[in-house]
A and B are shown apart, each in its own frame.
Chain A
Amino acid sequence: MCETCGCGDAGQFKVHDLNHKHPHNDQEADHGHPHDHAHGHSHDHTHPHDHSHGHSHPHDHDHGTVINLNVDILSENNKLAQLNRRYFAGRKVLCLNLVSSPGSGKTTILEKTIKALIPTRKLAVIEGDQQTFLDADRIEKSGAPAIQINTGSGCHLDARMVELATEKLEIEFGSILFIENVGNLVCPALFDLGESKRVVVISTTEGEDKPLKYPYMFQSSHLCLINKSDLLPYVDFDVEKAIGYARSLNPQLEFILVSAKTGEGLDQWYDWLANQK
């Protein structure tokens, strides 16, 4: 069973190094076959058999030892995240966790960012998606080393997945590491990956009330990129309102209005990146 939403197999996430991808030909891909067969025998089955008890039991058995723990259930993830954070700090790596709903334009922002910064800055990307290598392929074409984590049915990345990905991805000293989380504004909010900063991306084709609907994500982020500014003349998105809602939750949150398509605002985003220590 999926460790997150209950379907599929538990813990079936995979870290893919694109350089070691195995090609599938049609023959290989089509190797599922139905496996029906007649049963040919019967099964015994038991029925519950309740009856009144008619006597009482003494209640003097040993109740065991109480262990007071008071352990945060996310402590294991937080511990691993802290180790990741130290690993990044030791290598002067700026690690950014990019979160958003699906379709906000995270990958396009990253493609543009990589093309603009790769001549002067070392970059690396961890891509999180439920399925496919598509995003990591796009990122590699932009010129930065990328590794894909497929979470299977999972709806977020966790610190352990990032740890495994960093083992495979050679992150150079002084790099910026972008982690593109699974598109989901709910679950990733709870899972620290060891990032230096969390960047939430929303787009003008979404409702401006998104911060109010997903307060945990906006409360835990440092920067909000409002993407698709080029569409503002055609949609009802009120930028000031969206900023107001988000600031009411998180007064320290910074905002940059960008268009990954036209390039508007991206220089401001690059400046923000350059100013992060």
Chain B
Amino acid sequence: MHEFSLAIEVINLAGREVEKRGTRKIHEITIEVGDLSGVEADAFESALGLLVRDSILDQAHVKILRTPGTGNCLSCQSDFEMSHRMATCPVCSCFPSEIRGGTEFRVVSLVVD
């Protein structure tokens, strides 16, 4: 359950941006959570929902973008969607694959005053 630490990181990060830019209000924050990032998007969203009270994100609309995991098979070089890190290649059933996407965990954008 590191999602609470990560939610605090997001609030701190948003706070630093607001301070840097001299704005006061954040209307919206968009966060990308990859399916292979090691972060449970639902748990993270719940944690953030609880922690934003009285923070800079209190009034902000939180948008979570989920990015599917993608991999490239090391045996047959097929690209495929990976639902988890242990996924085998759907073409040749081989494992492992190189993870090419879905590890993102970042603040994409803010909408401020």
Contact = CB atoms under 8 A, between A and B. Distances in A.
A68 interface: yes
B96 A64 contact: no
B8 interface: yes
A67 B1 contact: no
Nearest to A71: B107
Most chain A CB within a 10 A radius of its CB, from B2, B85, B109: B2
Contacts of B105: 72-74
Q: How large is the interface on B (under 10, 10 to 19, 20 to 34, 35 or more residues)?
A: 35 or more
Interface in A1-29: 1-6, 10-11
Nearest to A189: B38
B12 A156 contact: no
A66 interface: yes
A187 B44 CA distance: 13
Among A1, A4, A186, chain B packs the most CB atoms within 10 A around the CB of A4
Interface in B63-94: 85-86
B86 A69 contact: no
B6 A66 contact: no
Interface of B: 1-2, 4-6, 8-10, 12-13, 17, 21, 23, 25, 27-28, 31, 38-39, 47, 50-51, 85-86, 95-96, 105-113
Q: Which of A68, A69, A72 has the most CB of B within 10 A?
A: A69
Given A63-B27, A63-B111, A73-B107, A6 B13 contact: no
A248 B113 CA distance: 50
A4 B106 contact: no
Contacts, number: 101
A214 to B, nearest CB: 10
Given A6-B47, A190-B38, A77 B9 contact: yes
Nearest to A245: B86
Contact of B9 (A64, A74, A215): A74
A248 B86 CA distance: 9
A196 interface: no
A68 B38 contact: no
Nearest to B6: A73
Given A67-B112, A74-B9, A215-B85, A5 B107 contact: no
12 contacts: A3-B5, A64-B113, A67-B21, A69-B110, A76-B9, A76-B13, A158-B5, A190-B39, A212-B86, A216-B85, A248-B96, A249-B86
Most chain B CB within a 10 A radius of its CB, from A10, A67, A69, A70: A67
Given A4-B5, A6-B4, A248-B96, A64 B106 contact: no
Given A6-B50, A65-B111, A71-B13, A249 B2 contact: no
A5 B50 CA distance: 12
Nearest to B33: A73
Interface centre among B27, B38, B51 (most CB of A within 10 A): B38
A205 interface: no
A69 B26 CA distance: 13
A3 B12 CA distance: 12
A216 B4 contact: no
Contacts of B28: 64
Nearest to A211: B86
Given A67-B21, A190-B2, A72 B106 contact: yes
A158 B6 CA distance: 11
